[in-house]
Amino acid sequence: MKRTYITQMPDKAGAFLRASRIIAEVGGNITRVSYNKAVDVHMLFIEVSADAEQLDTISERLNEIGCMMNDRAPGQTILVEFRLPNVTSAMLPVLELIDSFHFNITYISAQENDTDFLNIKIGLYIQDPGKTKEFLDSAANLCALKILNYDKSQKILDNTVFYLSFANQVSSTLRLGRDATDLLIADSNRIMQHLDERNEAPYKTFSYIGRFAEMLHSFEGSAFCAKVHRRSLANGFTLHMIEPPCGSNTYILEKNAHLLFIDCGFACFKAEMLEILHGLFPDFDAMEKSIVLTHPDIDHCGLLSLFERVYVSEDGRLNFAFENNSLPDFREQNKLHAPYCRISKLLTKYTPPDMDTLRLIERTREKEDAPVSPLGTLYFQGLTLDVFEGNGGHAKGEVVLVDEKNRLVYSGDIVVNIRGFSKEQAAFNALAPYLMTSVNLDSALATEERVYLQNKFSPKAYTYCCGHGALLEPAT
């Protein structure tokens, strides 16, 4: 098994040598090292492969030599603008005050502006946030000042404790515990390392992850601006569609007090979704309900705990078996996708479904050598749904449902309606392609799937119920 140690090393070369000796003595194997002075001059990430007992011993010994950062409080970083007379030594009283509080200066910028005053911006890392007010009160007696907001993707305000400040901000926003915060730091570093190899600016990584967390938080409660649609189908069926600001669409077929869901969105919006569902179906808790997953990405399967029957393909079942056994799922087996996927699970409070609830979509048709091939059939209250499986271009375990009676195609993410995104969906869906480098496991195969599916079921004749975005209706 592997574990990532997040270490604080004032002398990178010497400290890394000591840490390496400890790991070798215990019998561990270093599989990854990451250090980027432009981001954090002290933070060093060491990934080690060993058995559980060896990993625990390594933790203890690294802690003994003061390398582990686990017990260090994250503190906070603030940016203050001081308005000083443009005269000799005017800056000294401010610097002396900062020194008396033992704050670290992480950023400083000053320039003349053709007036009698000099505006100086100073970034401060404050280990004990409780001292912030006392410092600002004292500074206000020296000169006029103001606290500035700042964009971390544009200004490097803290290059000694950046990871801690970044993780503290995200953890505070989403109320994460200490263990979750450490995992967030480690996987954020992995994404940065991958993107750094592509010559991407490292701070853009943290800006995007920060936006991911902020957007999840911003849609909580009454701000969950989901669009809800209803359509009458043949033979007394009703189709309901819930289109959330982020996460997958949820489709619900209703007849005779029975419900069949197709996908169900992020786990973190369970309360918001339940409020909508109870509004649509007052007897929701007592109703018979099942769900079919178009694929096992977590933005499509966060609410599986609500269902006693979850229909999946064989690869979908295997994906959840990996997760239930604490093994990397199919996405996480891709090194470019793994860090983002783990962060997404962490921030959206995802848990894998109980394996006892899974129902395999049985193969009743001969597999074809095609990007999308027949798999089997599902029946719901007299309605026939033809099931096709994709070739894994977007995600392993993906299926498509076709309702020939009503000319509907439930395509999952093989076809998404990008032009039909709301402003919120467009902003949120722009994050994953950057942080994962691509939302597809194999973009060439994904393109083949989409083209083949739309040739087989023409958008001129079928309505596409896409994984994201509005319904894709035939042109009239």
Q: Mind listing the pLDDT tens digit for each residue in 248-267?
A: 999 999 999 999 999 999 99
Report the pLDDT value the prediction gives residue 160, as an integer from 0 to 100: 37
The answer on 267 and 176 residing in a single domain is no
Report whether pLDDT(156) > 50. no
396 shares a domain with 300: yes
Q: Rounded mean pLDDT of 106-135?
A: 79
Closest CA to 234 of 384, 376, 378, 377: 384
Closest among 461, 379, 438, 427 to 216, alpha carbons compared: 427
For position 430, which CATH number holds? 3.60.15.10
Residue 90 sits at φ, ψ, to 5 deg, of -65, -25
Which pLDDT does position 70 carry in this prediction? Answer: 52
Q: For residue 474, tell me if it sits in a domain.
A: no
DSSP 366-423: PPPSSSEEEEEEEEETTEEEEEEEE-SSS-TT-EEEEETTTTEEEEETSS--GGG--H
For the entire predicted model, the pTM comes to 0.73
Residue 270 predicted with pLDDT over 50: yes
Separation in Å, CA 143 to CA 86, 116, 301: 12, 14, 55
Residue 149: pLDDT band (50, 70, 90) is low
Rounded to an integer, the average pLDDT of 108-113 is 71
Kindly tell me if the per-residue pLDDT of 159 is higher than 90.
no
The DSSP secondary-structure symbol of 450 reads: H
DSSP per-residue string spanning 158-189: -SSSHHHHHHHHHHHHHT--HHHHHHHHHHHH
Regarding whether 340 and 234 lie in a shared domain, the answer is yes
- C-alpha torsion 129→135→140→141, nearest 10: 160
Where helices occur in 113-160 by DSSP H, the ranges are 132-140
Comparing 434 with 283, the larger pLDDT belongs to 283
The count of domains in the chain is 4
Comparing CA positions, the residue from 35, 78, 27, 77 lying closest to residue 54 is: 27
Are the beta carbons of 467 and 412 closer than 8 angstroms? yes
Average pLDDT rounded to a whole number, residues 190-204: 74
Same domain, 209 and 254: no
- Boundary residue ending a domain (64, 96, 116): 64
Q: In this structure, is residue 155 part of a structural domain? A: no
408 within some domain: yes
Give the helix ranges, DSSP H, for 27-51.
none
Do 138 and 28 lie in one domain? The reply is: no
Q: How far apart are CA 172 and CA 301, in angstroms?
A: 25
- Residue 301, pLDDT score: 96
Q: What is the pLDDT of residue 262?
A: 98
CA 326 remoteness from chain centre: 19
Which of 180, 198, 218 represents a domain boundary (last residue)?
218
Range of the domain at 186: 165-218
Q: How confident is the model at residue 176 (pLDDT cuts 50, 70, 90)?
A: confident
**Does pLDDT of 105 surpass 90?**
no
Residue 71, pLDDT score: 46
Closest CA to 358 of 286, 307, 285, 412: 307
On whether both 292 and 170 belong to a single domain, the answer is no
Is it the case that residue 85 has pLDDT exceeding 70? yes
Percent of the chain with pLDDT over 90: 54
For position 151, what pLDDT does the model report? 42
Average pLDDT over residues 16-41: 80
Asked if residue 213 and residue 307 are part of one domain, the reply reads: no
Q: Assign residue 14 the CATH number of its domain.
A: 3.30.70.260
The verdict on 265 and 212 lying in the same domain is no
3-class DSSP state for residue 262?
strand
Same domain, yes or no: 304 and 335: yes
Same domain, 202 and 228: no
**421 and 317 together in one domain:** yes
